[in-house]
């Protein structure tokens, strides 16, 4: 199996502002969000990063997508270092989270071309991909409707398609179904399965056991910014009890 | 190519939204109307003037002035040869004569920088009209000599001059608000809505994103600035109480410099508001910062409006330099190198701000800090 994503001792510490310290009632001025994290995901797999709130999932994925820089350690996506080759990494990764929005004023057609240009995709390839992807996900009928007028489900599809406009090898998805109703959530999970069918490697984060059980080939459990467990899902008979077992052994018996 | 797409996107966003275009065109219309009505209130309908002008000394220029006065109007001029300048000045003050023209000895032939002085009463329509025509003619003839203008009105009666001197201030306010409305929406708005982050995950260079904002937003804001300039240019002659036509008042070079000064301020203000917007967490916060900056700029340029002839150091201060230069041009004392230096300095400051903006776009603390 070929390694497509590898995190090596990824570490990220945030300095909390005075205001943040007050809000979170934290006495410490620094918070270690990710603490020497190591894991590997393989080509063609769906890898799930599972962890409770504040475990450091979003921070990890943002480092992988080069939105933020690790304090120390490194990660490699399709062989490119997020520290040294951020530009290359951005071209092999499609990153999706609910924090990344599309401007409501534009149409899916326009945005697809725009983000294609941002990634430096040539015109002919772009036109071909647009036709193919829009048809496949039923966006073609809505291609000229402004994004702000689309239904939530359609908007989600458009975001998904635009995140893979440059045909990335790796798709990273933070909390893919968070805040979505069952219908839209299904749009997303179907899309991920479809992507896997296209041979893409997918890395997602979640705190939902059932999502991991349904979608993932491999799971990494992250607690307090460290990897507590990693393994094939087929080797785990009860994910939930596995998780709580680990959680208790790290955090003590208070749960 | 990526930069091209970024710029096109901003234009696309703007030109499909009629509301935004209207906001851009309003300032010029507002300036024009404001000054038109002020001019209207101060000066009655242009009448037929019969100028009586005291003349001390002589020059062929009087003939040129005569021609200019007769040109297309029924106005006439009568020259009253005087010997005593003081007595003549009194006549102007009392309204018995329209103005006094004082040529130094051997005005037409002397090589020793001869001088000419116009004494007039800006509160009399007739006198002001003569002054406008005569000074325009004398300027056109060339600056071989020193031109002095003396007004016999007392300081508190000079309402129009005040209006003229605060014009640069008004222009700056309008330009600032034009730049602000577009830039806040586009930079702070995109940051707040999370659409800027979507661009940041692509491989486009941060410097291209910065340029891709400042360039098109400046172009769009220039529409507003252009509209301010036209409003200003067209209302000036009217403001002076005479219809000398578009170029009559100041001459081509002055207008060109005014135009460059106004346009040069636009990218600077756009870049400045962009930096504030990128720093702020929301549009609200960004408009608060920009409002503070705007108040500072307004206060300074208003101050400058009442302190004529700032030192050369003013050319180094962004925005202020343009206000000073505009004011100098409007009062007929353009200092060309200062005007050019102002434009150049403002462009240099813009470059520095764009660089800073690019740095901010790559800073995770600024873009993704909580
Ligand atoms: N920009 C930041 N500044 C300060 N602290 C931060 C910042 N981003 C994250 N943190 C802190 O780092 C820790 C890890 O956050 P992170 O968002 O990565 O967790 P998560 O696993 O995604 O949690 P959730 O399930 O709530 O999304 C949290 O305690 C969070 O408060
Ligand atoms: Mg998270």
Q: Does B139 touch chain A (CB under 8 A)?
A: no
Threshold 0.90, pTM exceeds:
no
The encoded tokens of residue B158 equal 């000079």
DSSP B157: G
> Are B1 and A118 a contacting pair at CB < 8 A?
no
Kindly give the number of the ligand 1 atom that is closest to the alpha carbon of A17.
4
Report chain A's terminal Cα–Cα distance, integer Å. 37
Nearest CA in chain B to A59: B368
B367 contact residues in A (CB cutoff 8 A): 67
Q: Does B18 touch chain A (CB under 8 A)?
A: no
Given a contact cutoff of 8 angstroms between Cβ atoms, the answer to whether B131 and B97 are in contact is: no
The encoded tokens of residue B29 equal 């219309």
The encoded tokens of residue B40 equal 């209207």
ipTM for this model = 0.90
Which residue matches tokens 């005040």?
A: B162
Q: Does B9 touch chain A (CB under 8 A)?
A: yes
**pLDDT tens, residue order, chain B (370 aa):** 799 999 999 999 888 877 777 777 777 787 778 777 766 665 555 567 888 898 888 888 888 888 888 877 778 888 888 888 888 888 888 888 889 888 888 888 777 778 888 888 877 778 888 888 888 888 777 666 777 777 666 543 454 566 567 778 878 888 888 888 889 989 999 999 999 999 999 999 999 999 999 999 999 888 877 787 777 767 765 655 444 444 445 677 888 888 899 889 999 999 999 999 999 999 999 999 999 999 998 888 888 777 766 677 888 888 888 888 888 887 777 788 888 999 999 999 999 999 999 999 999 889 887 6
Contact residues of ligand 1, CB 6 A cut-off: A 14, 16, 31, 33, 51, 53-59, 207; B 369-370
Nearest to B75 by CA among B20, B18, B34, B134: B134
Could you say which of A62, A101, A118 has the minimum Cβ distance to residue B202? A118
Nearest to A170 by CA among A190, A194, A199, A191: A199
């Amino acid at each position: 199996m070929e390694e497509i994503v590898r995190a090596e001792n990824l570490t990220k510490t945030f300095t909390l502002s005075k205001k943040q310290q007050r809000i979170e009632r934290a006495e410490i001025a620094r918070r270690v969000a990710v603490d020497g994290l190591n894991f590997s995901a393989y080509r063609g797999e769906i890898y799930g990063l599972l962890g409770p709130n504040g475990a450091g999932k979003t921070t990890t994925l943002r480092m992988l997508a080069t939105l933020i820089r690790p304090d120390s350690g490194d990660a490699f996506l399709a062989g490119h270092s997020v520290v040294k080759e951020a530009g290359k990494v951005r071209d092999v990764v499609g990153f999706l989270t609910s924090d990344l929005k599309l401007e409501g004023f534009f149409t899916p057609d326009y945005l697809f071309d725009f983000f294609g240009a941002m990634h430096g995709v040539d015109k002919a390839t772009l036109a071909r991909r647009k036709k193919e992807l829009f048809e496949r996900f039923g966006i073609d009928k809505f291609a000229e409707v402004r994004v702000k007028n689309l239904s939530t489900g359609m908007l989600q599809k458009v975001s998904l398609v635009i995140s893979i406009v440059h045909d990335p090898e790796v798709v990273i998805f933070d909390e893919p179904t968070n805040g979505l109703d069952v219908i839209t959530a299904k749009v997303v999970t179907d899309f991920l399965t479809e992507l896997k069918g296209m041979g893409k490697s997918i890395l997602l984060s979640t705190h939902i056991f059932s999502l991991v059980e349904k979608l993932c080939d491999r799971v990494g459990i992250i607690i307090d910014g460290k990897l507590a467990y990693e393994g094939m899902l087929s080797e785990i008979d009860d994910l939930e009890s596995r998780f709580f077992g680990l959680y208790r052994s790290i955090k003590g018996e208070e749960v | 190519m990526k930069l091209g797409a970024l710029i096109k996107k901003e234009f696309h966003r703007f030109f499909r939204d009629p509301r935004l275009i209207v906001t851009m065109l309003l300032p010029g219309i507002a300036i024009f109307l404001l000054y038109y009505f002020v001019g209207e209130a101060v000066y009655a309908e242009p009448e037929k003037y019969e100028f009586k002008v005291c003349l001390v000394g002589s020059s062929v220029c009087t003939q040129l002035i005569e021609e200019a006065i007769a040109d297309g109007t029924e106005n006439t001029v009568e020259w009253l040869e005087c010997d005593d300048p003081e007595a003549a000045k009194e006549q102007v003050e009392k309204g018995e004569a329209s103005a006094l023209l004082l040529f130094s000895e051997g005005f037409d032939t002397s090589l020793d920088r001869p001088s000419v002085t116009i004494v007039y009463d800006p509160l009399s329509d007739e006198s002001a009209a003569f002054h406008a025509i005569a000074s325009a003619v004398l300027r056109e003839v060339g600056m071989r000599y020193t031109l002095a203008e003396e007004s016999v009105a007392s300081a508190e009666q000079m309402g129009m001059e005040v209006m003229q001197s605060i014009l640069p201030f008004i222009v700056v306010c309008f330009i600032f608000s034009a730049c602000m409305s577009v830039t806040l929406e586009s930079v702070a708005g995109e940051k707040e809505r999370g659409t800027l982050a979507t661009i940041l995950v692509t491989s486009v260079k941060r410097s291209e994103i910065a340029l891709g904002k400042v360039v098109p937003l400046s172009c769009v804001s220039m529409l507003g600035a252009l509209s301010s300039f036209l409003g200003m240019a067209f209302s000036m002659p009217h403001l002076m109480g005479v219809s000398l036509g578009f170029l009559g008042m100041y001459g081509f070079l002055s207008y060109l410099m005014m135009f460059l000064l106004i346009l040069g301020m636009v990218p600077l203000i756009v870049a400045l508001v962009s930096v504030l917007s990128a720093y702020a967490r929301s549009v609200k916060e960004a408009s608060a910062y920009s409002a503070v900056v705007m108040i500072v700029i307004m206060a300074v340029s208003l101050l400058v409006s009442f302190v004529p002839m700032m030192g050369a150091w003013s050319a180094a201060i962004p925005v202020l330099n343009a206000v000073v230069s505009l004011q100098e041009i409007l009062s007929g004392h353009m200092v060309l190198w200062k005007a050019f230096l102002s434009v150049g300095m403002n462009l240099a400051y813009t470059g520095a701000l764009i660089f800073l903006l690019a740095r901010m776009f790559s800073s995770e603390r600024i873009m993704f800090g909580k």
